């Protein structure tokens, strides 16, 4: 029985490392961004069924995941990122930036994957050029976002 208690603890383990704290922090930041984006989009949905689907299905799932992560953050004494605004009727500049920033991050991975897959030299070179251009655009996005304080940097993790 002692082995099963170690494999399936009743609650959370007592310690996490800085990488795990970072993952929790970035996950909740992403869920906050998604919640704000979905709430904005709900304002533009005309189809009643789709609106209900998002309001009662997707938002419920997102809030449930946020609650779980917030519990973890409290338990492990991880500093919270800024929470999303409560009432959203339009796109704020910061959320537009965050959407483009997330797309740019995804593009970096997408181009890298294409390079890994292609053995055709000209195709691989094309995707390497895309990756290089995207890296420069991403670098500029980070610099701009830092000036505006829209790039969310995780706090220094100190569990005490």
Q: pLDDT for 60-113, tens place per residue?
A: 999 999 999 999 999 988 989 888 777 777 888 998 998 999 999 999 999 999
pLDDT, tens digit, 9 for 90 and up, residues 118-143 = 999 999 999 999 999 999 999 999 99
> pTM here?
0.72
- Tokens for 48, please give them: 């009643």
- Which of these, 138, 80, 86, 84, lies nearest to 109 by C-alpha position? 138
Written in H, E and C, the secondary structure of 94-116 is HHHHHHHHHHHHHHHHHHHHHHH
pLDDT greater at residue 9 or residue 113: 113
- Under DSSP, the state recorded for 134 is H
- For residues 65 and 62, what is the distance between their CA atoms, to the nearest angstrom? 5
């Amino acid at each position: 029985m002692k082995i099963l208690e170690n494999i399936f603890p009743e609650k959370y383990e007592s310690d996490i490392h800085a990488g795990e704290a970072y993952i929790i922090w970035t996950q909740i930041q992403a869920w906050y961004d998604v919640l704000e984006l979905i709430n904005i989009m709900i304002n533009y949905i005309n189809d009643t069924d789709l609106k209900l689907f998002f309001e009662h299905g997707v938002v419920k799932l997102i809030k449930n995941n946020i609650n779980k992560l917030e519990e973890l953050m409290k338990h492990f004494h991880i500093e919270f990122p800024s929470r999303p605004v409560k009432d959203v009727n339009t796109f704020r500049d910061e959320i537009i930036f965050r959407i483009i920033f997330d797309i740019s991050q995804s593009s970096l991975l997408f181009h890298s994957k294409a390079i890994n897959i292609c053995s055709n030299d000209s195709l691989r070179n094309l995707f390497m050029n895309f990756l290089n251009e995207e890296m420069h655009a991403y670098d500029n996005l980070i610099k701009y976002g830092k000036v505006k304080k829209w790039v969310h940097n995780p706090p220094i993790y100190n569990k005490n």
